[in-house]
Structures are given as structure tokens and as C-alpha cells.
Amino acid sequence: MEKFLSCDWGTSTFRLRLINADNLRVLAETTHESGIADTHRQWLLQPEGSLSRRACYTAVLKQRLDELSQRAGIALDDIPIVLSGMASSSMGMVELPYKSLPFDLDGSDLIVEALPNLDVSNPIFMVSGARTDHDVMRGEETKVLGCSAIVTENSDKQLLILPGTHPKHIIVIRRQAVELATYMTGEFFDLLSTHSVLSTSVEAGANFGDAEAQRWFSEGVEASRTSGMLKAAFKVRTNELLRQIPKTHNFYYLSGILIGSELQHITPAVPVYLIAGSMHRALYKKALQIIDVPIAGELDADLALIKGQRMILSRLS
């Protein structure tokens, strides 16, 4: 296998990449702000008796494959595709059951299904999500596999933190994912900053490398730990009214409150591994520094996904 196609089909975003299998270099990619939710709506709006569910989703996938082929300058026929994310959900292309935790970090016991009889020449393999009795994830399980090289093999707890709209905290013991917790951090930030009374008190635009932005972020993290999220959040409003804090710095104060709330139960007793993209990495590193929790290891979230997908393909070949 010289190349493979990495597909991350999320709720709101679609991303397809052509990957060199040896060094995991991204050779070409296409991204769309139109994910599973939009595709599902398109299918529901189809006239009765027209395209089937699979055919509707396959048409979207073929369109993206054609776009990527043009960008890469090569034909993509017969190159295997690994589909991760919400494509295996109840509103995805094919619904697959969740794998109950624990699961091994070598990918041997995740649910992976080949999708035959689709109108594409590429072999397609879909990865399902994972669950506990009270929590679920789809897409992050593949990233967890990609972290297998950075976690240790001992019997002590290790914590993987995967920031995002709904951040995941995953406990690993003896190279098995054994516990899962989901937080509403990103979604709450969006709701509070765009649809609440706080929306007129915050504004994006400041660089987090700015010392003042970091200072207000740090104050937000501390406020979440001393006042609690609900009380601290209203200070975003009074910061602007009474303290004349610029809205762009108040933006990071609110971010600090929410990330601080998410991390409030974390202690240095459990090694922490941060699996994040560039947008979240600096924020979470700063928050963990404020609460005196060292980071045992880091991995880019996109690279973790690609590593996990290659691991799955290697087991299937």
C-alpha cells in the first residue's frame, strides 16, 4: 500500500486527504464546511423514490474524490479509503453499532466494516465509534489508536485530552481505552459568545500570543476554579461594563472560564497527553500550566487520526 485516502466526515465538516502510507505525508486535501448533518438533510429532501440513502451519500463522496483527484493531479481509482467520524452514525451513510469500552490501542477490536456495492472504484472501510454505559464518541476512537506510540505500557492510568466542540477525556490503562468523558466546552463557548447576554461583551480578533490576552485567559481559568463556571461567566459582562476590559481580551477570559471548568478535576497524579490541533493546543497548554499539571506527551490531532487510520488499514491487509 503506497497511498491511502483519509476521510474525516464530521457533523459539520468534511475533510478528505491523500496520504503517503510510508511517511504519512499529506499529498493533497479537500475540505468542506458541509458535513454529515447537511448531507443527511439533502437526503431527507430527496423526492420519494429517488436516490437511496447510500446513493445520496456516495454521490457526495464521489464529488469530493473528483475534487481531490484534480488537486492531486492523479487518478485516485482503487486507492483505499478509511472513513472516520459521523459517517457511521444514525444520520450517516451506514449506521454501525458502537464498540463498548474497553478497546485495545492496536485497533484489533474496534468495529470496522467494508462497504461493498458502492458506485466508486475505491475499497471503503468505515470505522465505528465507541461507548460506555453513559457516553459515546465517533471519530476520536481512531485518534486514540494514533496515540499508541506515545503512551506507555504500564498499568497506571494515563489521560488523553482531545479538545474540540465536545472535548473527550479518555483514560488508558495497559494500552486499553477504559474510560470516557465528554464535555460541552466548545459548544458552550459558541452559545455564550454568540447567543447570550455575554455576546456583546466578547469579540474575536486578539492573538493569543499577546501577553494581555494570556493574562485574561489565565484569570478566567482561576475564576472558574474559585467561583465556579456560572458565577464566573457573568463577570464577562461586568468586565466590560465596570472594568473596561477590551472585548477581544474578554473573549479569552470566557475561554479560560470554560476550559478551566473542563479541567478542574485533573491532577498531576495522572500523566496527561494532549491531542490537539493548532487552534486548541496553546489554550490547553496554558490552562494545564496554570493548574500545575505537566504534559507527558503531545500529538497533533490530524496526525493522530491519520496514524490511526493507517493502523486500521494495516490490520486489514
Any idea which of 20-29, 236-245, 257-266 has the lowest mean pLDDT?
236-245
Q: What is the CATH number assigned to the segment(s) 153-301?
A: 3.30.420.310
- Whole-number Cα distances in Å, 179 to 89, 91, 172, 267, 279: 21, 25, 7, 16, 26
Does the structure show a pLDDT above 80 at 137? yes
Give the residue among 125, 92, 124 at the shortest CA–CA distance from 111.
125
pLDDT at residue 150, as a whole number: 93
The DSSP annotation for 171-194 comes to: EEETTEEEEEEE--HHHHHHHHHH
pLDDT tens profile 73-93: 999 999 999 999 999 999 999
Assign 1 a pLDDT band (cuts: 50, 70, 90). Answer: confident
Residue written as grid cell 474575536: 204
Q: Dihedrals φ, ψ of 131, to 5°?
A: -150, 160
pLDDT tens profile 32-53: 988 999 999 988 888 877 788 8
Q: C-alpha angle 309/315/317, rounded to 5°?
A: 100
Residue written as grid cell 478528505: 16
Report, as an integer, the average pLDDT of 118-132. Answer: 93
CATH 3.30.420.310 domain residues, the chain: 153-301
pLDDT at residue 74, as a whole number: 94
Report, as an integer, the average pLDDT of 13-18. Answer: 96
Identify how many contiguous H helices and E strands the chain contains and give both numbers: 9, 15
pLDDT at residue 16, as a whole number: 97
Assign 129 a pLDDT band (cuts: 50, 70, 90). Answer: very high
CA 33 to CA 9: how far, in whole Å? 10
CATH 3.30.420.300 domain residues, the chain: 3-138
pLDDT at residue 68, as a whole number: 97
Report, as an integer, the average pLDDT of 158-178. Answer: 96
CATH number of this structure's domain 3-138, picked from the four choices 3.40.50.720, 3.30.420.300, 3.30.360.10, 1.10.3720.10: 3.30.420.300
Report, as an integer, the average pLDDT of 5-17. Answer: 95
CA 77 to CA 64: how far, in whole Å? 13
Does the structure show a pLDDT above 90 at 224? yes
Q: Please provide the average confidence, as pLDDT, over all residues in the chain.
A: 94
Report, as an integer, the average pLDDT of 251-280. Answer: 96
Give the dihedral sign, CA 196/198/200/203.
negative
273 contacts 297 by C-beta, under 8 angstroms: yes
